[in-house]
């Protein structure tokens, strides 16, 4: 699966590269061109945040239905920076008008009552609907909860919200819930304890143990002995592992459903997909 970090100046290796990427992808056409490189390399899934500029990418996909006929997007929400920046520029009321879906007063009433009654589930549903506006008409079979929220809910033991997210995206969007986390073993225990079987979990998995809470050995045991659908991200460990060594390690693990990676150029995209093809064809299968 192709990620979007490089499009929005997120780089775990250096600030200089982040700056270069922000310049390189300042126009939407550069993002679309890179996505087309990924499609040419055989990638059919784009896993992305709900950054404002993604709305333009979605519109391009809608405008070219035949070209993107088999293309899927896995939204990851929420994109916290978007709301923080909007609140600074537009104020709270302006932010609600811009992002709340449907009838503004009706949605505001729902959110207001939910807040006063501490009905977090209604608030969550309102925010999901707001984030999903840009993906109307796009194939989004999996919707991910970002790790900043997943792990916060884990820490607060608010597992009922995780279950509600799982149920709501299935009911409203006919999609499966995915969860991004920095603590795969703990999240899996919690989800299974709540009755969620064979969940989709995206987590840092790499040879260096980078951002793997609980340690690499526990992750390897979990992959070997538990039933869930694993998506490996940050496989290069922030640049600590070479691409060849990183992909070879990931492909040697059991139960890896997909590899999530980002790249800025056609050459890097082709190199990564070639390495995946070389070490394990099965890792390219689509979550279903």
The pLDDT tens digits of the residues spanning 135-150 come to 999 999 999 999 999 9
pLDDT digits (tens, 9 = 90+) for 155-166: 999 999 999 999
Q: Which residue has the tokens 């922030």?
A: 238
The values of phi and psi at residue 100, to 5°, are -75, 130
> Cβ–Cβ contacts within 10 Å for residue 280, how many?
17
pLDDT band at 111 (very low <50, low <70, confident <90, very high): low
pLDDT at 21: 79
Give me the residues paired with residue 259 across strands: 232
Q: What angle do CA 138, 263, 242 make, to 5 degrees?
A: 140
Q: What angle do CA 231, 138, 41 make, to 5 degrees?
A: 55
For residues 132 and 173, the answer to whether their CB atoms sit within 8 Å is yes
pLDDT band at 49 (very low <50, low <70, confident <90, very high): very high
Q: Which residue has the higher pLDDT, 57 or 23?
A: 57
Q: How many residues does the chain have?
A: 288
Return the DSSP state at 285.
P
pLDDT at 20: 79
Q: What is the mean pLDDT of residues 103-127?
A: 62
Residues 6+ apart with CB under 8 A from 256: 205, 223, 230, 231, 232, 250, 280, 283
Going through 157-249 in order, the beta strands assigned E by DSSP cover: 176-181, 200-204, 229-233
Residues 6+ apart with CB under 8 A from 231: 1, 178, 200, 201, 202, 203, 256, 257, 258, 259, 260, 287
- Given a cut of 80, whether residue 112 has pLDDT beyond it is no
pTM: 0.87
For residues 41 and 265, the answer to whether their CB atoms sit within 8 Å is no
Share of the chain above pLDDT 90, in %: 72
Mean residue pLDDT across the chain: 88
pLDDT band at 122 (very low <50, low <70, confident <90, very high): confident
> Which SS3 state, helix, strand or coil, does residue 74 take?
strand
Residues 6+ apart with CB under 8 A from 12: 234, 238, 239
Pairing relation of β-strands 72-77 and 229-233? unpaired
Q: What is the mean pLDDT of residues 214-229?
A: 97
> Which SS3 state, helix, strand or coil, does residue 256 take?
strand
For residues 233 and 204, the answer to whether their CB atoms sit within 8 Å is yes
Q: What is the mean pLDDT of residues 70-97?
A: 78
The rounded distance, in Å, linking the Cα atoms of 37 and 267 is: 9
């Amino acid at each position: 699966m192709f990620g979007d970090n490089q499009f929005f100046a997120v780089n775990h290796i250096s600030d200089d590269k982040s700056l270069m990427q922000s310049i390189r992808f300042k126009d939407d056409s550069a993002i679309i061109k890179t996505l087309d490189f990924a499609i040419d390399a055989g990638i059919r899934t784009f896993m992305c945040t709900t950054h404002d500029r993604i709305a333009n990418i979605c519109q391009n996909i809608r405008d070219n239905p035949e070209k993107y006929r088999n293309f899927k997007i896995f939204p990851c929400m929420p994109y916290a920076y978007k709301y923080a920046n909007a609140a600074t520029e537009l104020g709270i009321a302006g932010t609600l008008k811009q992002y709340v879906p449907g009838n503004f007063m009706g949605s505001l009433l729902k959110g207001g009552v939910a807040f006063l009654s501490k009905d977090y589930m209604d608030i969550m549903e309102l925010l999901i609907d707001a984030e999903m506006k840009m993906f109307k008409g796009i194939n989004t079979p999996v919707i991910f909860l970002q790790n900043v929220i997943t792990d916060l809910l884990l820490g607060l033991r608010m597992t009922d919200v995780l279950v509600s997210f799982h149920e709501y995206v299935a009911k409203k969007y006919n999609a499966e819930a995915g969860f991004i986390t920095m603590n795969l073993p703990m999240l899996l225990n919690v989800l299974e304890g709540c009755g969620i079987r064979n969940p989709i979990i995206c987590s840092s998995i790499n040879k260096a143990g980078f951002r793997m809470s609980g340690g690499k050995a526990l992750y390897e045991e979990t992959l070997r002995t538990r039933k869930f659908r694993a998506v490996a991200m940050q496989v290069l460990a922030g640049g600590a592992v070479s691409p060849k060594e990183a992909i070879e390690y990931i492909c040697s693990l059991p139960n890896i459903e997909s590899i999530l990676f980002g790249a800025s150029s056609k050459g890097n995209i082709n190199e990564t997909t070639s390495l995946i093809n070389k070490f394990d064809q099965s890792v390219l299968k689509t979550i279903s």
